[in-house]
Structures are given as C-alpha cells and as structure tokens.
Chains A and B, each alone.
Chain A
Amino acid sequence: MEHVILFAGPMGAGKTTAIRSLSDIKVVGTEAANTDRETADKPTTTVALDYGEIHVSEDEKVRLYGIPGQRRFDFMWRILRERAAGMVLLVHNDAPDPVGAMSEFLLEFADLCERGGVAIGVTRMDVRPGPTLTDYTDVLERERPDLMVPVLAVDPRDRGNMEMLLMSLIANIEMRAVYGGAGALT
C-alpha cells in the first residue's frame, strides 16, 4: 500500500529540507543552480522533483514528492496531483507576499484540496514575524470557508515540526473522509 503526499510552495520555502527531515531514505533530488537569486537567495533549486519515503511497515509507504516552486515547471504539478492524497503547502514568511502565495497555490491545487486535503506550514517566521498565523487563517476563512486547513509555524529542518504538520494533514484527511464525504487514506 502506498500514499502520495505532495510538498508544494514557492521557491525557497523549504520543501526539499522538509522532505529530508521526514524521509527514511536518502532523498532523490533534482537540484540545479538557481539562476533566480532575486526570488530566493540560495545556490540551488529543485527543477523537477524531490523524492523521499516514509516506511510505515514492510508493505506500506508514504511517498513524499517535492514539486518545483517555479511556474515554468508546473507540468510536474499536473502529473502528480492526480495521484496525491494530500498536500503540504510550505510558504516562507519573508517572501514578498506570502499570504498571496498561499492563496495562489490553493487556487492552483483546488481540485486536490477538495478531493484530499492540505496543511500549510509557514516557515522562516523567526526571520520575519509578520504576517502572523492569524493573517493566514483569516484569509483562509474568507476565501475557503468550506475547507478546514491546519496552519502551523514550522522549521523544515525540525523533524518533530514536520511530523506534526504531516500528522495534522493526515488526521484532517481521515476525518473529512469519515464525516465530510471526501476521499480516504485507507
């Protein structure tokens, strides 16, 4: 049995790091030199996919796919979203418009949000404290009152943080499947 969870978000949000924190295998990455240092000041960025696994048991695993944050790679988003049970959306708080970026990704992945679930991890809140988590949840309440979305401040380097975010997502998907008529993680 296997489950697919996507890690999405703008470039520099910490998707690759988050998958490394959770994965039981060495993460398979496709990083290349970052030529867009204005958007994210880091030497490399994911150009196709990152891939990691959590081994639940001998015959069950959670496949973790990090999809590139840049829109020019959005064909990869389309390939994987059909298979995904849920999505961890990471947004870095020191981005120019992190709340707007969250809204944009939720709109882009609206079908996945409806079918499965989404959990939002706000990273780098220690670097820039505003916007606050309430700013994110206020927008979610306004734009998607039908969706229950966990929003947590996380450090993608912290395995405990990432476990809590993933467990919040899975709990929400399972409870929505039972009580809300959505798809299920079996």
Chain B
Amino acid sequence: MAPETGLAAGTLPVVDAPPELSGWAGAASAIHAIQQMPMPMMLRLHIAGHEPVEIDFAFHAFAWSGSLADLPTHPESVLVETRPAIPDRPSIELPGRPLDPLLWTIGWHAFGEEPAPWLREGDRYRLRRWPSLSELDPTLDQVRMIAMLGNAFATADELAAAARTPPADARRLVNAFGVLGILRRSAGAPALDAAPPSGTAEPTAASRTTGLFSRLRQRWGR
C-alpha cells in the first residue's frame, strides 16, 4: 500500500490515455510535462498487472515493490495519476529509490525508434548533468554517447553518426534523457563532428575510435 503522506487535497482524476499515448508514451509525456512545471508534483503510475509506482519529483525518488527488470517493455496499459505535493513533505518514504533509472527505462521504451514528440526537428541537445544510471549498468556504447552529449550539442542522428551506433539507439537515448529532464536545447549550436576523435573510416566495433577508451574496451573485452 502506497503511503498517502504529503499529498495535497483535491487530487486529479485518473484518466484513460488516448491510443496515441498508450503504453509508456503517455507516462513519458506526462513526466516530461511535470518536469517543466515549477510546482512540486507527485505522480502515480498504474501499470497493468503491477503494483502502482509512486514518484516524488521534489525528492527525485520513487517507491515500487518490484525490480526495474520486471517493468514490461510494452505494457498493456499505463494510467497516470498526478497530484500536487505539499512542499517539503515527501509523498513516499525517503530516501526511496533513485529516479534516473526508472525514467531512463520509461523513456527508452516510450516511443520506440521514433523521436519523442517534444523534440524539435533540427534542434540540438546537450546534457545538463551526467545521468545516475549505476543500477542499470549501461553499455559502453551508451557511456560514450553520454560523454558526447555531455560535451557537445547534437541531434540524435548526429550523435549516432559520431558514435557509430544505429540511429534508433541514439534516438532512444535522447528520448530517455528528455524524460529525465536533463537536456538543454539549442537551435543554433553547430553540428557535432561525425568522427571523433581521429576515428577510422570503417565503422567496426573494434575501431570506433583510436582513443584509450576503445583500447581499454578491447583489452577488457567489453
């Protein structure tokens, strides 16, 4: 049973999502909207066949009985319930669980290989901070793309070209960071160099760069 402390009166009703916001898409869009709001919010996700997930954005934490690995990739339905939270009063028992891995998982699956609807074509994006993904054990391709986006503005397609990864993976990554709320946007930033640093011409896994990162990766077989 989720704790009810810290919730303001006058909660919003649970509403069925329209078809275009089915699965994780509706939840991702709601989370992205909440990230833009100045007032602290609490969100409850009702996932078909699972206990509700309680998210407290003010404390950047969530509560759920399950493992993230148990979250369905394509849930039959996700109903989103939002409530204004009372400032300085957590809606879950703290410290809760770190929010980044949950939001990453939702954002990664929400729109498949398509860009999230809030991303504008031609705009470039950069990270405000490094995501806290320890629990998820990201791949080294993802780590490299995180480092790229941490140091330069890029579109998802430019990121894919620079990292020599499939464009769909880069789009999912940028979508996920949008749900985390850690993207900065620029309409006028220059394009990302497509071949850092001193990259080789062939996009083979073994030669993505000639830097220490790649050599250590080969050394460790990762």
Interface residues of A (CB under 8 A from B): 3, 54-57, 60, 62, 129-130, 132-134, 137, 140-141, 148-154, 160-161, 163-164, 166-168, 170-172, 174-180, 184-186
A170→B214 CA distance, assembly (Å) = 10
A133→B94 CA distance, assembly (Å) = 13
Closest to A163 in B: B220
In the complex where A132-B98, A153-B134 touch, is A148 in contact with B150 (Cβ < 8 A)? yes
Residues of B within 8 A of A151 (CB): 130, 132
A132 to B211, Cβ gap below 8 A?
A: no
Closest to B137 in A: A164
Closest to B215 in A: A56
Residues of B within 8 A of A167 (CB): 140, 143, 213, 216-217, 222
Within the complex, the shortest CB–CB distance from B103 to chain A, in Å, comes to 12
A134 to B213, Cβ gap below 8 A?
A: no
Closest to A125 in B: B134
Residues of A within 8 A of B74 (CB): none
Residues of B within 8 A of A148 (CB): 127, 129-130, 147, 150-151
Asked if B146 is at the interface of the complex by the 8 Å CB criterion, the answer is yes
> 8 A-B residue contacts at CB 8 Å?
A3-B212, A55-B219, A152-B133, A168-B147, A171-B143, A172-B130, A174-B211, A184-B197
B130 to A149, Cβ gap below 8 A?
A: yes
A154 to B134, Cβ gap below 8 A?
A: yes
Within the complex, the shortest CB–CB distance from B213 to chain A, in Å, comes to 5
Counting from the closest, the 9 A-B pairs by CB-CB distance are A148-B150, A171-B147, A179-B152, A178-B196, A175-B147, A133-B132, A153-B134, A134-B60, A179-B151
Residues of A within 8 A of B219 (CB): 54-57
Asked if B144 is at the interface of the complex by the 8 Å CB criterion, the answer is yes
Q: Which of B153-193 contact A (CB under 8 A)?
A: 192-193
Residues of A within 8 A of B135 (CB): 153
Task: With a 10 A CB-CB cut-off, give which of A148, A149, A161, A164 has the most chain B CB atoms.
Answer: A148
In the complex where A3-B212, A54-B216, A134-B60 touch, is A140 in contact with B129 (Cβ < 8 A)? yes
Asked if B128 is at the interface of the complex by the 8 Å CB criterion, the answer is yes
A151→B196 CA distance, assembly (Å) = 24
A171→B148 CA distance, assembly (Å) = 8
Asked if B203 is at the interface of the complex by the 8 Å CB criterion, the answer is no
Within the complex, the shortest CB–CB distance from A174 to chain B, in Å, comes to 5
A54→B137 CA distance, assembly (Å) = 22
Within the complex, the shortest CB–CB distance from A37 to chain B, in Å, comes to 28
Within the complex, the shortest CB–CB distance from A169 to chain B, in Å, comes to 9
Residues of A within 8 A of B211 (CB): 170, 174, 185-186
Residues of B within 8 A of A149 (CB): 129-130
Q: A164-B143, A179-B152 are in contact. List 11 more A-B contacts (CB 8 A).
A: A152-B133, A154-B134, A161-B134, A163-B222, A167-B216, A172-B147, A174-B147, A177-B197, A178-B151, A179-B196, A180-B151
A141 to B128, Cβ gap below 8 A?
A: yes
Closest to A153 in B: B134
Within the complex, the shortest CB–CB distance from B150 to chain A, in Å, comes to 4
Residues of A within 8 A of B196 (CB): 174-175, 178-179
A110→B63 CA distance, assembly (Å) = 37
A10→B100 CA distance, assembly (Å) = 27
A180→B135 CA distance, assembly (Å) = 29
A127→B203 CA distance, assembly (Å) = 44
A3→B137 CA distance, assembly (Å) = 25
In the complex where A134-B60, A154-B134 touch, is A175 in contact with B148 (Cβ < 8 A)? yes
Within the complex, the shortest CB–CB distance from A61 to chain B, in Å, comes to 11
A170 to B61, Cβ gap below 8 A?
A: no
A170→B197 CA distance, assembly (Å) = 13
Residues of A within 8 A of B98 (CB): 132-134
